A and B are shown apart, each in its own frame.
Chain A
Amino acid sequence: MKQPKKTSKKGQIESIGLVLIVIIIVLALVFTIPFLINNPDIQSLNQEYLQFKADSTISTLLSTNIEDCQSAQVTFKKELENCLLENQPVCFTSCQELNNKLQSLLDYSLPTQDYQLLMDSKPIIQKAKATQKECPNKLFSTTHFIAGNSKLAIAVCA
């Protein structure tokens, strides 16, 4: 009669030990998992910053006056319209030269990002791997209308 009682007590103590180990593991997981999951706040802030940068880049670029131009107060927006409608800019010798200048300014503004300057959803200026396949997460700036209804925007690879 005495022998089974002893075994049962020992078994109970061992089960309590097992329960304690399980509780410790669960507590460790509860405290650790939140830290191991990537903090989404920083990612969303970076995306907001990129969006803001893309918006200010396009609006600043279009309002900038072109230097040493015979016609006064010609902006990049006006010059893009000239290229779109007549294929001949007023201040630059060719549309290619205008695009090169735009690209250098975009490179200054978005030095580490891949981007596309889109006219009616078609890229007119592009940097590196900003294609749909290589850049699944694209951020688009606000759309500006030039020459009536042509849409101009910047897509940045986030």
Chain B
Amino acid sequence: MPKMKISKKAQAQNLETIIVILIVTIIIAIGIAIFYNLQSNSLDNLKQLYRQNQAINLLSTLPLTPELQYTEFGYDKSSIDAIKLLTPLKLKSNMKIEVQQLYPEKPKATCSKSNYPECSTYIIYDGQPKSLKNQEIISTPALLYHPIEKQYSFAILIITTYY
């Protein structure tokens, strides 16, 4: 009889240990799941930050590049040359870069050498991949110079990033 008592106590203790291990394992599993989710969200935020940073850098430097900048006798005029926008840029990126003239208002059409200057949208680069559906748009006003009319126009430089 005493042997049986000890055995029953041992069994109960074993069961207790198993339950404790099970509960601790469940808690650790839940912890890992929460940590994974938080880590994943943090990485998504980091990716978004990187994308935004890249787009803002491009937004601020693009009008100053020789490919787009309007210069007069070598002097920078802090504006984009509309004629230069008719030649697409050679880039490799999941982006679409366009310039939309808002003032003076022009017919809503994509600009090409045949319809310039009677158009309002200049697509400088279109690298939209078919597989990526999400997009992030950032924009800034830009001064657009029309060499033929010798007029400065109010335009918006728009960068759409696909991801």
Interface residues of B in 26-63 (CB under 8 A from A): 27, 31, 34-35, 38-39, 41-42, 45, 48-49, 52-53, 56, 59-60
CB within 8 Å for A105 and B103 given contacts A52-B60, A60-B142, A61-B141: yes
Hey, which chain B residues are within 8 Å of A60, CB to CB? 141-143, 154-155
Contact B143 A24 (CB under 8 A): no
- Among A24, A31, A35, A63, contact of B152 (Cβ-Cβ < 8 Å): A63
Q: What residue in chain A is nearest B152 (Cβ atoms)?
A: A65
Contact with B along A46-63 (1 / 0, CB 8 A): 001100110011011101
Expressed in whole angstroms, the Cα–Cα distance for A101 and B140 within the complex equals 18
Hey, which chain A residues are within 8 Å of B154, CB to CB? 60-61, 64, 105
Interface residues of B in 111-163 (CB under 8 A from A): 138, 140-143, 150-156
Expressed in whole angstroms, the Cα–Cα distance for A31 and B35 within the complex equals 7
Most A CB within 10 A of own CB, among B53, B79, B104, B140: B140
Hey, which chain B residues are within 8 Å of A35, CB to CB? 38-39, 41-42
Hey, which chain A residues are within 8 Å of B42, CB to CB? 35, 39
- Among A32, A45, A101, contact of B53 (Cβ-Cβ < 8 Å): A45
Contact B103 A67 (CB under 8 A): yes
Hey, which chain A residues are within 8 Å of B78, CB to CB? 59, 63
Hey, which chain B residues are within 8 Å of A75, CB to CB? 152
- Among B35, B48, B143, B152, contact of A42 (Cβ-Cβ < 8 Å): B48
Nearest first, the 8 closest Cβ-Cβ pairs linking A and B are A67-B104, A35-B38, A60-B141, A64-B154, A65-B151, A109-B141, A60-B143, A65-B152
